[in-house]
Amino acid sequence: MSKIWIDGKFIDSSKAKVSVFDHGLLYGDGCFEGIRIYNGRILKLRSHIVRMFESAASIRLQPGHSIDEMEEIVRETVAINEQKDGYIRLVFTRGKGTLGLNPFLCPTATVIVIVESIKLYPNEMYEDGMSIIVANRPRVPKECLDPQVKSLNYLNNILAKIEAIDAGVLEALMLNLDGEVAECTGDNIFIIKDGTISTPPTSAGILNGITRQLVIEDIAPDLGYTVQERKLDLEEVLDADEVFLTGTAAEVIGVSHIGEKSVGCGKVGPITHALEDKFRKMVSENAPED
C-alpha cells in the first residue's frame, strides 16, 4: 500500500481523504501536476514544481510551502514509497471552506502528493502508432480559463476524451475557437512535413507541456532538428508526413490515424521513432531533474 503525503502527514492510501467541504471537490478549485520517476530520478522535477506554483499564483492560491520545500516533500514521498519508476501526482486544492464560491473563506490549502506506478498506452501503440479523432468540442479559450493553468477543472478535456472513447480511440485533437490546432486532451501535438517539425505556439491556448519543451529544447536539436512553433490548421495536420504526441504519461508517441484518415503511410514514421528512442534513452540513462 502506498503512502500519501497530505497536509504534512504520510497516510496509507486507503485512508487518505479530503473534506467534503474542500473547494477542490466542490468547485474544481485547485491545480495539479503529473511527474515521472525514471530509474530513481525525477524527470524535470524543478520545472514541474515551478509550473505548479505558476498555476497556483494565477488562481491566487497559496500552498503554504516554498518551491524548495515542495521539492523536498516530493522527494521524501518518493523515497518513503521506494518507487524507482513511477508517477507522482501533486495536487493543491483551495482547501476546506463554506458551500459558497468565495475562495478566500478557505483558510488553508490542501496539499497532496501521491506516488504510484503508471500504466502507459499499450506497447503496440508505440510501435504501430495510435489512432485519434478530432473532437467536436473546442478547447476552452485562454480568455476564459487559460489552458496554461493546469487546474483541477478538466471537464473540457474530459468531455473531448469521452468523444474519443465513444469513437473507439484513446485521444482527441482539440481545436481552439478560431479553428486552429491546439492540443489533445492530455497531450501536446507535433507534425512533421518534408523533414520540418512544427507544433502550435502557446498562444493557440495550450498547456506548455514539459515534455513538449523537452522535445523542442533538447531531443529534437540533439537529432539535428529545429522545431517551429507556429499556428497550425487542421488540413496541415491531416496532410503531414508524421504526427506525434507528447506528454508526461504518453512520453513521445506516433499517431497513425486521425479519424478515417491515415497519417503518412499509416505507421509511425522514422523521425518520430528516432525521437521516441532518444527520449527513452535520455530518461533511462540520466533523466534531467532541473
Binding site for ligand PMP (CB under 6 A): 34, 157, 183, 186-188, 207, 209-212, 246-248
Q: Which amino acid is at 212?
A: R
Name which of 99 and 158 has its Cβ closer to ligand PMP. Answer: 158
Cβ–Cβ < 8 Å for 127, 254: no
Name which of 125 and 207 has its Cβ closer to ligand PMP. Answer: 207
Name the minimum Å distance from CB 245 to ligand PMP.
8
Name which of 10 and 116 has its Cβ closer to ligand PMP. Answer: 116
Beta bridge partners of 181: 175
Instruction: Tell me the H-state helices in the chain.
Output: 23-27, 45-58, 67-80, 123-128, 142-145, 155-166, 210-214, 220-222, 234-238, 270-286
SS3 label, residue 63: coil
Identify the active-site residue in 44, 96, 142, 150: 150
Q: How far apart are CA 178 and CA 182, in angstroms?
A: 10
Name the minimum Å distance from CB 99 to ligand PMP.
29
Cβ–Cβ < 8 Å for 237, 258: yes
Cβ–Cβ < 8 Å for 89, 113: yes
* Grid cell locating 82: 521506494
How many Cβ atoms from other residues are within 10 Å of residue 3's Cβ?
17
Name the minimum Å distance from CB 20 to ligand PMP.
26
Name which of 95 and 279 has its Cβ closer to ligand PMP. Answer: 279
Residue 142 a catalytic site member: no
Name which of 17 and 281 has its Cβ closer to ligand PMP. Answer: 281
Q: What is the DSSP letter of 22?
A: B
Catalytic residues: 150
